[in-house]
A and B are shown apart, each in its own frame.
Chain A
């Protein structure tokens, strides 16, 4: 079979039923036992009804569910809105937040393709052209130089390439901005310092902030629900307190250590903010935190104020305004309680949103110090306040590095120093640390499963992580040998859970996943043994 002709940048504007196709035969093969076709579940095709109702002309999946415009007038109106959004994206008033890095990346990329191989989605898709980090950026660059910059109709086209702007371009660009995990591994390799990940981020903002278009899971069921009810999980303050009470009881039963989570304790040293998804999906994680903090004698509290018991901040991925609203709420509660610092639980994007990105949003006394739980936990371990028995963790353990925490914050070693101390069979993935690969669920994908997006997530964006996990345990693939993927981040954990389920990795390989604190409690001398349950949940 001859080599497929690559899709050209300008083809994004050509009206067709589908621009690109994810061919399962072209996906990079996985290591054993998934090296044969029988290990890979069938990709559920999009239904005709979905294709009829939503824009589905990019590839074989839908992330955003944009209703199809009913007529040409509606299409043109949306294109006009896109252009007005583009103008705002490059205005200091509307986009002071990222204007400088955006302009630098837009105007200085040499199109050398150095970034391409760094992208796990592009690589593992078998080099599908539309997933190339540069493809998406180049579409926007051409539009920017042709339609936005002076003299663009001639010089822009000549210097930067031509493109037509129509509804097909805009619709596909919307979807395409959600085929990037925003892990910024591509940016790390750029010799000039251009950042194609940032361009995907800025595109998402344009679509949300100007056109009101964002995946429901991130906006309505995410940020909006969190701001209205208190949490994207839908838990209001009463429910969250009830749930934590149950968790405390369970923890006391499981560990034999009396646990009672303090709520709204003014003047506590630490305000601990979890991703509330943990409370619902992985209660043992906030429970383990409570056990450790109680046993270490830490002065801490959780807040039952709306928003403040959920560390998520999905605005990080698609909307600066939503990001600012949530970050300010978190800081206001910490200020009200008079805590010394906010400690962020095992949630990578919550770390980055509140510690790094919001650092220049939180002014004056709202800029309460924020610290990673990795650091707080390392201090507890190294201080000797808790005695650990590493022999209880004598099984193969590997560590997934959440991009937000590691590549984008430089928190690399504290979690490793803990694992080296408490897990005798700890081994690294390759590559790791700041050169890690995204789990494939980054930038909100882990909570997006509409239509057949989960298939895309498991087979394309999560493929590299799957490969890394399998390679980390390659000599112990026997399912009777229990193995643990430590992922100290809720979204990464969600994605790894979905990968394990999708490929039956627990049954076939004996691999489970969990956080860091679970491993700590599992080997606490004062706790009853057997905290980690070797079953899929």
Chain B
């Protein structure tokens, strides 16, 4: 078995990579130019009667003279069920939902398990032991961790198998499935299989995992892992954490942009809006499109070509 510091180093690197990739990609997307409006109704933050049928402020006479009320509560009412229960998939692709929902919900529960393990580690550090023979909060966290982990792992494993089956055998998906897609699902499957083994054979009460997390947050990197299986699980989970944001699986945060910055972005360019300033700058970008009707020469800006007479 590899020396203990490597396991900690892998996990630190994984968390750091995850954070860096997510932040970098977030910033890259967020700093892209303000695009033209491309909303799609219904928009989540609409309020009042219009929410029932997907209406907009364009239905109001002289809409620009009225205040546009955006309901954050309605936005959450649309977004939370979508994130937790994959409502769009349920409504439009039920066959896939039966596979995708357990996968995603299982993952949420596994993330919850990590949270519970972390909380348990903090309790340990605070002198409150966690385990089935403990009392009060310690025993509650123990059973919660095991329960959430088992249900989450079961759902995620079944979901992954279901998704893999569809990717391999459903004619609709097969031809659009790449080696990368299969690799991703197999990667999850291997991680889950090792997690099951570790749970069944080495760490049924999560004490080793909790100890690892406790050492991780206290930088006690020389502490042993205590089990080869748990060690392998830690390495695989670390690799998975680092890998996810580099793939299209990054939709866990990309969805914020696709919904809030595109689909629901109905912000009008009114007189006092900061939009005009940003657009004014972008209209000064030089244009190099080659078609003859554009008449771009690399020096002319968008403002120039948009106001140029056609020949």
B35 within 8 Å of A by Cβ? yes
Set A94, A224, A328, A376: member contacting B289, Cβ < 8 A: A94
Q: Is the CB of B41 within 8 A of A367?
A: no
Set A94, A361, A407, A410: member contacting B306, Cβ < 8 A: A361
Bound CA–CA A341/B29 (angstroms):
35
Bound CA–CA A353/B211 (angstroms):
60
Contacts of A172 in B (CB 8 A): none
Task: Given the known inter-chain contacts A371-B61, A410-B54, please indicate yes or no for A108 contacting B251, CB distance below 8 A.
Answer: yes
Bound CA–CA A96/B35 (angstroms):
6
B16 within 8 Å of A by Cβ? no
Chain B window 86-127, contacts with chain A (Cβ cutoff 8 Å), 1 for yes, 0 for no:
101101110010001000000000000000000000000000
Contacts of B310 in A (CB 8 A): 224, 227-228, 325
Q: Is the CB of A356 within 8 A of B39?
A: yes
B26 within 8 Å of A by Cβ? no
B200 within 8 Å of A by Cβ? no
Set B57, B60, B257: member contacting A104, Cβ < 8 A: B257
Q: Is the CB of A406 within 8 A of B41?
A: yes
Among B119-169, those with CB < 8 Å from A are: none
Question: B99: shortest Cβ distance to chain A, in Å?
Answer: 10
Contacts of B280 in A (CB 8 A): 363
Task: Given the known inter-chain contacts A92-B285, A212-B292, please indicate yes or no for A408 contacting B41, CB distance below 8 A.
Answer: yes
Q: Is the CB of B35 within 8 A of A100?
A: yes
Among B196-232, those with CB < 8 Å from A are: none
Q: Is the CB of B176 within 8 A of A9?
A: yes
Bound CA–CA A138/B282 (angstroms):
30
Question: B280: shortest Cβ distance to chain A, in Å?
Answer: 6
Q: Is the CB of B291 within 8 A of A117?
A: no
Contacts of A414 in B (CB 8 A): 59
Bound CA–CA A512/B179 (angstroms):
53
Bound CA–CA A407/B96 (angstroms):
25
Contacts of B248 in A (CB 8 A): 107-110
Chain A window 76-93, contacts with chain B (Cβ cutoff 8 Å), 1 for yes, 0 for no:
000001001100100011
Among B244-283, those with CB < 8 Å from A are: 247-248, 250-251, 254-255, 257-259, 261-263, 266, 268-271, 275-276, 279-280, 282-283
Contacts of B37 in A (CB 8 A): 356-357, 359-360
Contacts of A103 in B (CB 8 A): 29, 32
Q: Is the CB of A195 within 8 A of B262?
A: yes
Who on chain A is nearest to B311 by CB?
A228
Contacts of B275 in A (CB 8 A): 360
Q: Is the CB of B269 within 8 A of A360?
A: yes
Q: Is the CB of A93 within 8 A of B287?
A: yes
Question: B298: shortest Cβ distance to chain A, in Å?
Answer: 10
Q: Classify chain A's interface size.
A: 35 or more
Most buried by A among B59, B251, B255: B59
Task: Given the known inter-chain contacts A113-B93, A412-B55, please indicate yes or no for A99 contacting B41, CB distance below 8 A.
Answer: no
Bound CA–CA A363/B284 (angstroms):
13
Set B32, B92, B180: member contacting A118, Cβ < 8 A: B92
Among A127-146, those with CB < 8 Å from B are: 134, 138
Taking Cβ atoms with an 8 Å cutoff, the residues of A that contact B are: 6, 8-9, 81, 84-85, 88, 92-94, 96-101, 103-105, 107-118, 134, 138, 158-161, 184, 187-195, 198, 208-212, 219, 224, 227-228, 320-322, 324-325, 328, 341, 355-364, 367, 369, 371-372, 374-376, 378-379, 406-414, 433-434
Of the A-B pairs whose beta carbons lie under 8 Å apart in the complex, a sample of 20, sorted by A's number, is: A93-B286, A96-B35, A97-B36, A103-B29, A105-B258, A108-B254, A112-B100, A113-B93, A117-B93, A189-B93, A209-B289, A211-B290, A212-B293, A321-B294, A360-B269, A361-B36, A367-B276, A375-B60, A410-B56, A433-B53
Identify the 6 closest CB pairs spanning chains A and B, nearest first: A410-B56, A193-B258, A159-B180, A96-B33, A434-B54, A324-B306
Taking Cβ atoms with an 8 Å cutoff, the residues of B that contact A are: 29, 32-43, 46, 50, 53-64, 82, 86, 88-89, 91-93, 96, 100, 171-173, 175-181, 247-248, 250-251, 254-255, 257-259, 261-263, 266, 268-271, 275-276, 279-280, 282-283, 285-294, 302, 305-310
Extra contacts besides A93-B286, A113-B172, A407-B40 (13): CB < 8 Å: A88-B288, A98-B35, A100-B29, A100-B262, A104-B258, A108-B250, A112-B173, A114-B93, A188-B40, A190-B88, A193-B258, A359-B37, A360-B279
